Structure 1
Amino acid sequence: MATDLRVSLTDRCNLRCTYCMPEAGLQWLAKPDLLTDDEVVRLVRIAVTQLGVTEVRFTGGEPLLRPGLPGVLERCAALRPRPRISLTTNGIGLHRTAKTLRTAGLDRVNVSLDTLRPEVFRTLTRRDRHRDVLEGLAAAHAAGLTPVKVNTVLMPGLNADEAPELLAWALDLGYQLRFIEQMPLDAQHGWRREELVTAEDILRRLGERFTLTPEGSARRGSAPAERWLVDGGPGTVGVIASVTRPFCRACDRTRLTADGQVRNCLFAREETDLRTALRSGEPDEALADLWRAAMWGKKASPDLDAPAFVQPDRPMSAIGG
């Protein structure tokens, strides 16, 4: 069974990143369709106590938009055995909430930031919130939500040239930078393989300024990022190459959407409905059995580079990263 659970708390976001959402017109999930805080905690408890989950990451959309987030964190941190708890966020609002979230039980954060240039940030996200993200990162680090990881997607003609600059910045501030190949999970289905900035491209650009030494597959385990020591270490950089270097055989993740659907793969085209069973009064054991069956039915890994690949109907914002 998967030991890493990704829980989406909302499909809403306060940015409109070009590789994720259209500027307008995306229909959000209706509030009655969303899992309540109690339902989220119950399903996390089942995953931890009956299915062997040891790490829970809360995602979105943007999870900081969920009003009950601190309470959900506190209740999940009280579970025994206690899971490791992390959060993937765009960082907006983190400068106000980092201490509260740490106190509630959050262990660390992943913050999405694709550029150090405010004008490029506005182009990529269609919002003028660059300073908020930088302040959020600093607040997370100060609150002890470490290691603070920064997730970066490079786009040709926009920020692809920033790779070395981003790495130098992250090393200087003590953040762990991870470059992520753009995946075919945008709401507008505009992804084009020929426009992809690949892992090979990223490493070539970094190699022009830094000496990179592979950290070794033994230390990677089931982590999605391949990691390199930078100039002999101790600093590192990671690359998540879902398209050109898939790592499906080592994947230990399962995903729960904000409306209570289990997905056994980020690129799955089928889901298992836990919300209906939960609201119908099914006991924990029955929900656990449904969940197990969903994971046992996981298909062979998709080849994102293959012409026959079909993008999932749900975009990343509605799946949870």
Structure 2
Amino acid sequence: MEKRLIKDQLNRPLRDLRISVIDRCNFRCTYCMPAEKFGPDFAFLPKSELLTYEEIERVARIFVSLGVEKIRLTGGEPLLRKDLPTLVKKLSAIEGLKDIGLTTNGVLLPKYAKELKEAGLLRVNVSLDTLNSELFGKINGRGVGVDVILTGIKAAQDAGLGVKINMVVKKGLNDSEIVPMATFCKEQGLQLRFIEYMDVGSTNGWKMDDVITKKEIYELLKEHYLLEPVDPDYFGEVAKRYRYDGTNVDVGFIPSVSESFCSSCTRSRLSANGQIFTCLFNGEGHDIKEFMRKNVTDEEIADRITNIWGARKDRYSDERTEESAKNRKKIEMSYIGG
């Protein structure tokens, strides 16, 4: 298919695709799958509703023909999807795709890291919100300690994968862990991303008062380290990055609440059951699975994606208020990934 670049109504190009391969996780995290909502009887998607690997590969190839250069696999916990390295191998073979990564809680990395690297995976983003095992067990809802995750991080490094650490910061829960996490990642040579606590979905009881802003975290780190600003690597990079003075280790901030980056958003999302979402905070998806299963051509699928993206005018973070956070329908993080 001929390469064509598409833009939305605000002149934002499509460059980045997040693909959720499964809607379940082995944790019940405070942030995205609270146990009171996602208990043992919660009805997750049946296998028949999930996109097959062949369907994911086909849609991904069409997205790449429309300008996508980066793909990240998400969940839920993507490593719960059977034979995930098979999908990675299919995607890494797509001509024109420059980067493929994976967001994971790290538990299954000792089992799969080497195989994923051999299949073509380049990097992993590991979710780790504290180094305190007791607090970490409380956050993940399963009592799992930090050592399991650290073992997974080591396995990823040993396999030759790039590793970033994602830390969601919530006031009164883990804000005391900001400096210890920064110190640990600096000493280990790990890129760290502090993520502002977001109102994703409707089950986490989000309040603006719970947000620790990028500015607050930055000012706290400045008390301990000299930080140099780093220029963005590409248009649409969401992390505001700084480098520890005298090192090649950087720390970044994803300030989607306090410093919106809607104007440069280049990211689309594909859910595990084949819905395209043009914004993490938009609860209305666009079906591609059933359309694709009607024996349509790649060109027809490309046209559908082009129309969806071209009509996009999402600016949720620009327009967020405490009231809109409560009343707007939003997709759950476990369903669409980060």
Q: TM-score by structure 2 length?
A: 0.90
The residue that corresponds to 1:258 in the other structure is: 272
Give me the whole-angstrom Cα distance separating, in 2, the residues matched to 1:223 and 1:204. Answer: 22
Q: Distance in 2 between matches of 1:205 and 1:123?
A: 25
Which residue in the other structure is 1:269 paired with? 283
What is the rounded CA distance, in whole Å, between the counterparts of 1:248 and 1:61 in structure 2? 24
- Deviation at residue 311 of structure 1 after TM alignment: 4.0
Identify the residue that residue 44 of structure 2 maps to in structure 1: 28
Give 1:47 deviation, angstroms: 1.3
What amino acid sits opposite 1:314 in the alignment?
A: I
Instruction: Write the distance in 2 (CA, Å) between the matches of 1:143 and 1:9.
Output: 22
Bigger CA drift: 219-228 or 190-199?
219-228
In 2, distance between residues paired with 1:79 and 1:192?
A: 41
> Aligned letter for 2:309?
M
Aligned partner of 1:221: which letter? F
1:180 aligns with 2:195: yes
1:283, CA displacement in angstroms?
A: 1.0
Alignment CA distance shift 1:219-1:314 (3 Å): closer
Q: Which moved more, 1:204-213 or 1:303-312?
A: 303-312
Return the alpha-carbon distance in structure 2 between the equivalents of residues 9 and 129 of structure 1: 26
Partner of residue 214, structure 2: 199
* CA distance in structure 2 between the aligned counterparts of 1:278 and 1:221, rounded to whole angstroms: 31
| Alpha-carbon distance in 2 for matches of 1:125, 1:141 | 23
Shift of 1:140: 0.6
The answer on 1:150 being equivalent to 2:165 is yes
2:323 equivalent to 1:318:
no
Q: Percent identity?
A: 42
Displacement of 1:213 in angstroms is 2.4
Alignment of 1:274-293 (within 5 A): 274-293=288-307
Match of 2:53? 37
CA contact 2:106–2:126 (8 Å) conserved in 1: yes
Aligned residues: 318
Instruction: Give the aligned residue type for 1:231.
Output: D
Which of 140, 163, 168 is the aligned partner of 2:183? 168
The root-mean-square deviation of aligned C-alpha atoms, in Å, is 1.6
Paired with 1:21 and 1:312, the residues of 2 have a C-alpha distance of 17
In the TM superposition, what whole-angstrom CA distance separates every residue of 1:147-189 from its partner, at most 9, and x where no partner exists?
Answer: x100001122232011111111111111100000011114514
Corresponding residue SS for 1:153: strand
Q: Which moved more, 1:225-234 or 1:164-173?
A: 225-234
Cα deviation per residue 1:22-47 (whole Å; 9 max; x = unaligned)? 21344312221111111111111111
Structure 1: any 5+ residue segments left out of the alignment?
none
Which of 135, 151, 155 is residue 120 of structure 1 equivalent to?
135
Whole-angstrom CA distance in 1 between matches of 2:314 and 2:160: 39
| 1:296 is the counterpart of 2:319 | no
Q: Compute the TM-score of the two structures, normalised by the length of structure 1.
A: 0.94
Shift of 1:232: 4.5
Shift of 1:289: 0.8
Match in the other structure for 1:4: 16
